[in-house]
Amino acid sequence: MFSFLLIPLAQITQYLDPGTGSALLQLLLAALLGIGVTVRVFWRKIKALFGSTSSEKVEPDEGQDDE
């Protein structure tokens, strides 16, 4: 049961499956796209965080009538 402990560490080799590179690339692309979507969703808050300290008037959205 513990025979793996008898194998010298120098004889242990590591193997990366050919699909590992593809999986890492997909993980990287998903992380970048996730960051992009997050920035887009919170863009106004991010802009306000780094924007000027004076209060700016927010214009109403188009299509809404001010009566």
Series of mean pLDDT values for 10-residue runs along the chain (67 residues): 62 74 93 95 89 60 58
pTM for the model: 0.49
How would DSSP label each residue in 3-66? Answer: GGGGS-GGG------THHHHHHHHHHHHHHHHHHHHHHHTHHHHHHHHS-SS--PPPPPTT---
pLDDT at 33: 97
